[in-house]
Every structure is written in C-alpha cells, then in structure tokens.
Amino acid sequence: MLVKWIRCTVTDRRGFERGQRKWAGLPGEPGFRGQGGGWSRGRQGVAHVFAFWESRSFYDSFMARSHDRLAASQNGTYTDLRVTLFDHRFDVKTGFEPRFTDADVVRVAHTRVREGRVDHFALMQEKVWNPAMAGSPGMVRGLFGEAPGREFLVLSMWHAAAEHGKYRQERVERLSLRAQIQADVEALTGDVVDLEPSWTV
C-alpha cells in the first residue's frame, strides 16, 4: 500500500474546506483505498491530509488523469505545500485499514534515520514502540511507512487527544532510551492532527 502525506498552510480556510469536499469523487478511482485529515493541534492554519492507494501504479495513473481536475478547486487557498509518498512496511497494532471514522486524532511522526541505522530503527519500531502503542488505551490502529532517503512515517490513530497525551507522558521517555533513539535518528518532527469528519473519503 502507498501512503501519501500532504501538509500545507491554509490561507483561505473556507475556500480550502469547500475544495476539500470535491475529493468525494475519489472512491471511483481504481486502487483508491481511503483518505482523511484535519487541522494541526499545535500549528495554526496547518492542514494534514493522508491518502492511501493499493500501489504506486494505481496512484501514478490517478495523478496523470484525474488529480488536477479535483485539486483545481483548492488552488490559491494554501501555501507551503509538501507531499511525501511512503511505502507501507508494517502495521502498528494489527490489520491497518485506511478508515478514519472511529478516531478523533492522528499522531504523525516523521523521521530521518542515520546512515547504517535503518535496520536497527525498523527493528526497534517493531519490538519496542509497536507493542507499547498497541497496548495503550485509546490507540485504534497505525502504520509504519518508508520513503527513499532513509525517511520514515509512523501514523497512529487515537480515540482522543487526551489518551495519546497520557501515552506520551507515561511512556515515551522510557521507550526512547530502550530503543536507542538518539543513536538511530538524525531528525524527528511530528504533529497531532484533529480529524475533520467532512474530509474523510
């Protein structure tokens, strides 16, 4: 599965949200699996959208045919658009599905890993972070994705921001030490996203 992560700074909120509804046409596209997103809790006006495709070839075909027509209605409503594509490597918890209806927030962690540390980083994700997240109350589902250039995405869906906050407060520092995160990670950025139900496709 291919994961597309889009983030931008919205300058015309009403126009952007109106344009966001145009993506309701996506389910007719071959290989489309789901899309959702919302607003950053920590950064004013920053929107995140996550789209899922069965494969890169289905996605490339969509980009060549229908994308520009659907995207046209949002032209001029945002700046600083950044798009990254990740290949799904494994699930956090079990049976990831690109559904957004049973979660209120998404936590996104974007990591660049040091050269020579990718295998260790992925192993720690599987053996240390995944079990801790999967066992946390309120964690719905998640995935671990990889992009070229030693870039990784951990996407986790939560019932509520308070539950994610409790997990962070109680466990992240201890888990970071156990996973030797300082040795693996060159750069780490993240955000917590309040999902907008009307953006779910």
pLDDT in tens, 123-167: 999 999 999 888 888 999 999 999 999 999 999 999 988 888 887
Residue 175, domain member (yes or no): yes
Please check the confidence at residue 172 and state whether its pLDDT lies above 90. Answer: no
Residue 149, domain member (yes or no): yes
**Whether the Cβ atoms of residue 6 and residue 82 lie closer than 8 Å to each other:** yes
Residue 109, domain member (yes or no): yes
Give the phi and the psi of residue 33 in degrees, each rounded to 5. -115, -25
Q: What is the pLDDT of residue 27?
A: 94
Cα–Cα dist 187/171, whole Å? 20
β-bridge mates for residue 22, sequence order: none
Find the mean pLDDT for residues 111-115. 97
Please check the confidence at residue 104 and state whether its pLDDT lies above 80. Answer: yes
CATH code, domain carrying 131: 3.30.70.100
Q: What is the pLDDT of residue 34?
A: 97
- What type of residue sits at position 14? R
Residue 166, domain member (yes or no): yes
Neighbours of 79 (CB within 10 A): 10
H-helix or E-strand containing 69? helix 67-71
Q: What is the pLDDT of residue 162?
A: 86
Give the phi and the psi of residue 136 in degrees, each rounded to 5. -85, 130
H-helix or E-strand containing 33? strand 32-40
The single-letter DSSP state of residue 114 is P
The two tokens of residue 21 are: 């509804």
Residue 102, domain member (yes or no): yes
Residue range(s) defining the domain that contains residue 138 = 2-196
Cα–Cα dist 191/32, whole Å? 25
Domain count for the chain: 1
Please check the confidence at residue 169 and state whether its pLDDT lies above 80. Answer: no
Q: What is the pLDDT of residue 96?
A: 93
Average pLDDT, the chain: 94
Whole-Å CA distances, 119 to 27, 128, 146, 190 = 36, 14, 12, 21
Residue 170, domain member (yes or no): yes
Find the mean pLDDT for residues 25-53. 97
Q: What is the pLDDT of residue 177?
A: 87
Residue 201, domain member (yes or no): no
